A = this chain, B = another copy of it.
Amino acid sequence: MDDRSDDHDIEVEGGGGLHAYDRKISGILDDGSVGFQQPLLARNRKNTTSQMAIVGANTCPIESLDYEIFENDLFKQDWRSRRKIEILQYTILKWALAFLIGLATGLVGFLNNLAVENIAGFKLLLTGNLMLKEKYFQAFFAFAGCNLILATAAASLCAFIAPAAAGSGIPEVKAYLNGIDAYSILAPSTLFVKIFGSIFGVAAGFVVGKEGPMVHTGACIANLLGQGGSKRYRLTWKWLRFFKNDRDRRDLITCGAAAGVAAAFRAPVGGVLFALEEAASWWRSALLWRTFFTTAVVAVVLRTLIELCRSGKCGLFGKGGLIMFDVNSGPVLYSTPDLLAVVFLGVVGGVLGSLYNYLVDKVLRTYALINERGPGFKVMLVMAVSILSSCCAFGLPWISQCTPCPIGSEGKCPSVGRSGIYKSFQCPPNHYNDLSSLLLNTNDDAIRSLFTSRSENEFQISTLAIFFVFVYCLGIITYGIAIPSGLFIPVILAGASYGRLVGRLLGPVSQLDVGLFSLLGAASFLGGTMRMTVSLCVILLELTNNLLMLPLVMLVLLISKTVADCFNKGVYDQIVTMKGLPYMEDHAEPYMRNLVAKDVVAGPLLSFSRVEKVGVIWQALKMTSHNGFPVIDEPPFTQASELCGLALRSHLLVLLQGKRFSKQKTTFGSQILRSCKARDFAKAGLGKGLKIEDLVLSDEEMEMYVDLHPITNTSPYTVLETLSLAKAAILFRQLGLRHLCVVPKTPGRPPIVGILTRHDFMPEHVLGLYPHIDPLK
């Protein structure tokens, strides 16, 4: 065996995501056309490392997904013999799964809310009652204590059971839909921790949302349903065999992500658009329809459950919870000053949004250093942030002056019980503390208060300013700690308080309602951080149930996105990059036009003959972690050596395990075909695939031959070695490939030059090989 490493794929059996890059850097091109020196490499490796500090959960192996239809003889046999009933089964199952995903996600979304509202409500009631009795210290300790317990619970779940559940989850889902399966990112344990960690985290009063975690939850549910169930339930397995491939699972997970957004915001159309604009890398009309169906199910489930709760059986779960804001703006008519105010709002929102991204990035890198020391440190970090949050939330309202209750609000001011916007806090009777109404409340209720337009003066300017600074800063330092934490709510909170502040300040100039200003502020922040447009617009529409403000929301989103794009990338893209996930953009980088396929490909030092000795295959599987091996038709079976196709590691393992060997070097593919079924080779569920260690082969068997033709994909996509790298990248990305064979252009050479994988297109790899190339030309 040659010890030059030439990964055909980025899968790494152990170690960090970074590993995958490092290994490849020592690859040497087969045709010897390009040699590069060690110093150069070393320098580059350093750059790569510093560029890709890894955050918390992803010190785990990643694997590429394969969306290509693997047309080998087994597939064709299965395809030809497929009966109408099977096609019908498949169709029914697709829709049934879409329904189940919607149902399950809707239920989880509702339960999440129910739990948060009850836990947080209990905590706030307790604090409020103690405050009324003027037992201020006891109130603080009750408040901070509850928060700390909940935070520790969330952090412990996250740190000890499923580190992958920390953070938003949207970047990971986005990466999965792009073809990168980070280990355990959609595992059942992650699902469990995501659900409960999110409930505890949100109830603990952190400035985090449940929206990102809901998306991740939806994707996990979809993945679980599509895994094919356990082998114990044979019936389940039989039907679910259709979904034992990456293509169909991708579709399910797209549905799941959309369902998550739909459940989080009660925005079915917004969910579909979110999946389309932000999450999915591949899309087609049929999927649009199915996704829409899933989100419709979510909407119906939520509606039914909320209806059931109206009778008061759900404890403290009231009309709050699942956000449906009520912005009362009436018919909007705008003047020039109004429009200028909106433009100003958008520009500043864009700047602040991109600054938010920048700071989140810095904070994440800092936390990574703490988090990698071990689970204990993770939990301690969470506890520290929890105490800080509690102190701020309880301490800041003391700064604020008490406001006399507005006239005509008897009975409502000061508010009794949990909800209400007129919290008395430390104030004398008939007065209320407006800052405490924002801080000592659930995030959803705070947003609702900020969006109201009822009375223009219910929040003082100083209150809004303090709250904005609090939320902006605390949102940044909270993201990245080891709890499931969404970014939507912190950003909406900061944006809404910023917008309302601007609205109050510009009151003399603009006629627009402060509630509307608040909404537009939220839009500008969302546009500035997440850089989505249509889906945010629709989500905000569905949240506020008011179509008349559409043009203004669109304007603000467009401005803030444009401004923010001048500074940095969207927050999710930033996190994907930071986690070192090899995300493939849908366009080629400019410098790729100056390179051709053979410039980056590492030669396939390993290829198999059509009829190959078992020992050779076993050795190759043992010694490398390649996932695809070229199969060559050689004399005497053909006149000249020519490319037969591509065989996958997983298929080879199954074939070897089946022990269909022959003592002679002859073709006996048809025999294998008769005794095998395509389903035996289907992609196994998570972590259930065969490993080389599972194979037991005798010495005698090692000397026998096996015909690889039945499992060889005889229709792999190929490119000529002189195809520009840009075009190869687009081909690879558009068709969702895992392996792309590079074939020689000139005659008289081996029939395959090498195999391009996802990682060969990564800027780190390409610019590592050619450090003198200008990345922008």
Q: Who on chain B is nearest to A727 by CB?
A: B715
- Contact in complex: A542, B547 (CB < 8 Å): yes
Closest to A75 in B: B593
A747 near B745 with CB under 8 A, answer no
Contact A299 B550 (CB under 8 A): yes
A80 at the interface (CB under 8 A from B): yes
A69, B269: Cβ atoms closer than 8 Å: no
With a CB–CB cut-off of 8 A, which chain B residues contact A723? Answer: 715, 717-718
Using CB atoms, name the residue of chain B closest to A296.
B554
A643 touches B (CB below 8 Å): yes
Q: Does A722 interact with chain B (Cβ within 8 Å)? A: yes
Contacting residues, chain B, for A276 (C-beta < 8 A)? 276, 288
Docked CA distance A708–B632 (Å):
35
Chain A 544-575, CB-CB to B under 8 Å as 1, else 0, gives 01011011001100100100000000000000
A719 within 8 A of B: yes
Instruction: State whether B714 touches A289 (Cβ < 8 A).
Output: no
The stretch from A156-164, A354-362, A531-539 touching chain B is A531-539
Min CB–CB distance A536 → chain B (angstroms): 10
Flag whether A208 is at the interface (Cβ < 8 A). Answer: no
Pick the contact of A269: B268, B538, B734 (CB < 8 A): B538
SS of A interface (majority): helix
A71 and B724 form a contact (CB under 8 A): yes
Q: Find out whether the CB atom of A272 lies under 8 angstroms from the CB atom of B534.
A: yes
Interface size on A, residues (CB 8 A): 71
Q: Which stretch from A144-152, A196-204, A277-285, A382-390 is at the chain B interface? A: A277-285
Give min CB distance, A646 to chain B, whole Å: 12
Q: Which residue of B lies closest to A748 (CB)?
A: B747
Inter-subunit contact B533/A292 (CB<8 Å): yes
Chain B residues within 8 Å of A746, by CB: 638-640, 642
Q: Does A225 contact B (CB under 8 A)?
A: no
| A303 near B715: Cβ-Cβ < 8 Å | no
Q: What CA separation (Å) do A550 and B324 show in the bound complex?
A: 14
CB-CB under 8 A for A743 and B720, given A283-B283, A534-B292, A537-B269? yes
Residues of B within 8 A of A538 (CB): 269, 538
A550 adjacent to B269 (CB under 8 Å): yes
Residues of B within 8 A of A717 (CB): 719, 723, 727, 731
Distance to closest chain B CB from A592 (angstroms): 11
Does A76 make an interface contact (CB < 8 A)? Answer: yes
Question: What mask results when residues 676 to 688 of chain A are scored 1 for a CB within 8 Å of chain B, else 0?
Answer: 0000000000000
Q: Within 8 Å of chain B (Cβ to Cβ): is A293?
A: yes
Docked CA distance A285–B253 (Å): 19
Smallest CB separation, A570 vs chain B (Å): 10
Q: For the complex, is A36 an interface residue (Cβ under 8 Å from B)?
A: no
- Report whether B720 and A643 are in contact in the complex, using a CB–CB cutoff of 8 Å: yes
Also in contact, A268 and B554, with CB within 8 A (given A284-B586, A717-B727, A722-B714): yes
CB distance from A76 to the nearest CB of B (A): 7
A643 and B723 alpha carbons, distance in the complex (Å): 11
**Interface readout for A725-751 with B: 1 if CB under 8 Å, 0 if not?**
011001100110000000101111000
Structural contact, A558 and B745, CB atoms closer than 8 A = no
Query: Which chain B residue lies CB-closest to A544?
Result: B547
A313 surroundings in chain B (CB, below 8 A): none
* Chain B nearest Cβ from A537, distance in angstroms: 7
Task: Say whether B558 contacts A296, CB under 8 Å.
Answer: yes
Chain B nearest CB: distance from A129 CB in Å? 34
Are A551 and B300 also in contact (CB < 8 A) when A717-B727, A735-B731 are? Answer: yes
The docked-state distance in angstroms from the alpha carbon of A735 to that of B717 is 13
A292 near B554 with CB under 8 A, answer yes
A772 at the interface (CB under 8 A from B): no
What B residues does A273 contact at CB under 8 A?
A: 273
A637 close to B (CB within 8 Å): no
A207 within 8 A of B: no
The answer to whether B76 touches A269, judged by C-beta atoms less than 8 angstroms apart, is: no
Chain B residues with CB under 8 Å of A288's CB are 276-277, 533-534
A373: CB under 8 A from chain B? Answer: no
* Residue A79 interfacial (CB < 8 Å): yes
- Indicate whether A541 reaches chain B with its CB closer than 8 angstroms: yes
A464 to chain B minimum Cβ distance, whole angstroms, is: 29
Interface residues of A in 9-68 (CB under 8 A from B): none
A4 to chain B: closest CB distance in Å? 28
- A:735-777 near B, CB below 8 Å: 735, 743, 745-748, 777
Query: How far, in angstroms, from A547 to B718 measured CA to CA in the complex?
Result: 49
Give chain B nearest CB distance to A549 CB in angstroms.
Answer: 11
Residues of chain B within 8 A of A586, CB atoms compared: 284-285
Chain B residues near A80 (CB, 8 Å)?
Answer: 594, 777
Known: A268-B551, A730-B735. 9 other contacts (CB 8 A): A76-B594, A269-B538, A289-B534, A292-B533, A293-B558, A296-B554, A300-B551, A596-B715, A638-B746
- Going nearest first, the 10 A-B pairs with the smallest beta carbon separation are A296-B554, A715-B724, A734-B734, A747-B747, A545-B547, A715-B723, A289-B533, A292-B534, A292-B533, A715-B727
Q: Name 14 A/B residue pairs within 8 A (Cβ), A-sorted.
A: A71-B724, A71-B727, A79-B593, A268-B550, A277-B285, A289-B533, A296-B551, A307-B333, A642-B745, A643-B720, A717-B719, A718-B720, A718-B723, A747-B748
